A and B are shown apart, each in its own frame.
Chain A
Amino acid sequence: MKNYKATVNVKLKEAVKDIKAQTLEQAVHNIMPVQNLKCRVGNTYNIGFDAKNKKEAEKIINTICEEILSNSVIEEYEIKW
């Protein structure tokens, strides 16, 4: 067994209105003028676990992402090892 560490970023899909990002953009504009400001808000999860190999590790992290960390209807996720 080998220990794997993954960083998962979950964010809303482009087509879904990102209300938190709009609030953030408004807040930025309240403190200073910024041109072409575009924000997306998401969550980051750092997850470590043991697996036999990379293939099994990928299967585990994808299951965690699909079942718990994201909702495929509105969100997408990205994994970095």
Chain B
Amino acid sequence: MWLALRFRHWALDCRITPEASDGGAGMLVTETTAQRQRIVAADPVALAAGARNGMALADARLRLPEAVLHERHIALEKTAMVRLAGWAWGYSSQLHWALAGGDKVTCTHLIMEIGASQRLFGGRAALWQRIETDLTRMGYRYRAGLGETPQAALAFARADESIRRRRCPDELSIACLDLSANVRATLSASGLRLAGELFALPSGTLIHRFGPELSAYLERLRGQRPHGLALFRLPSRYNTRHELNAAVDSTQGLVFVLRRVFDALAGFLLGADSAIQTLRLSLIHEREPPTRLQLALSAPTHDARHLEHVAHQRLERVQLVAPVVGLRLVSDRLRRSRHKQAGFWPQPGQDNGDDDSWPAVLDRLRARLGHEAVQWLHQIDDHRAEHASVYRDRPPSAVATPSQASDPLPRPLWLFESPRPISDRALTQWCWLHGPERIESGWWQQGQRRDYYRVLDTRGRLLWVFRDLEATDRTTAYYYVHGLFG
């Protein structure tokens, strides 16, 4: 059982109309072929005014003098179709899509095999309900048809309501079939109206008159031949572009746009059952170079709402240099999302370590405070204290068992970024508790030779003080405070 979805106004529906812009004057998408501009998509306002697909622009202009015009953008339609195919991947693994263009394809369509999914979604009606809800939410205008073969489904998507309901291929009008214009003209001139009449003709005659294509098509329509369509394969990354019908000049205005953008991403990730970890979001401007935002999450996620939240937090810190006319999203490699499996027996004590919420909160913190705001302390095997512990943006992997024996002398909890020199007067007042401990290393870089002491100062602090043995001239200080025993 195949489901065909036809999108007559795909060239327009794949663009995002910002909320604030008024579409009262109508909107048209045109395509230039052989130096003639023709309409390929129109919005409901334009349709009501009498604009039709295939109409010459001059004719449409007569009906809609104020209409906003957009040039057709094939690459944009393609990425939008890949997004939709990713969504449909959740319902079917056999998908085929084609964009309108040339003689071959008259209308943008998506065909998918749904017979195998019916049981999973609880029957055909329930499955259709879900698909319909999704399509409405995404805001696409479509016509659907069901058939035993992809070609039949597509033909039924063009047919009238009553014929569509009976689903008998014999009753299809010849106008619904995918035939080239002159074949169709010849057939109707011969007095043929229905597909059933065409099926009844001997195939040898048809091949003789119209060539092998028509006969092959009719066999595919009836399922007597493999459908021969190129099936969609899931891309390795989410790479898409959204075009806005009107420029957005404030980050507040982007909220609505981002909702649409991340809805599409949510549909894609859910359908493809994938998770992503980084997403590069570029805000495209008319003249300026695009504003790039890198959303790096701490763990792969399939939750587009979370990504949207992170994007909003990042956008709050961004000053738009120019109005935004488009958005581009590029993700890293799609990963299979890992689903949480509950144990058969509820296990006590498993709830308190909530592993799912930690990456989410980490991303929120980083989105608002900056990526470097959350860090972990790493240890590097070095005798010099200032080189031994560094901050990195990820937790140290599997910290080795604390090797307390390796360094028996106590170390201060706090280290100063740069050691502070000590005045001679302070040196005499302090209480020297322990030392010296010689630390001498780093000859391959700036070598250091120091004697460390533990000192109690007059204010009650316990200091980690060293004497720099490399300091030989009088201009530099001998003694420095390096850390505090906090």
A, B: real partners = no
B contact residues vs A (CB 8 Å cutoff) = none
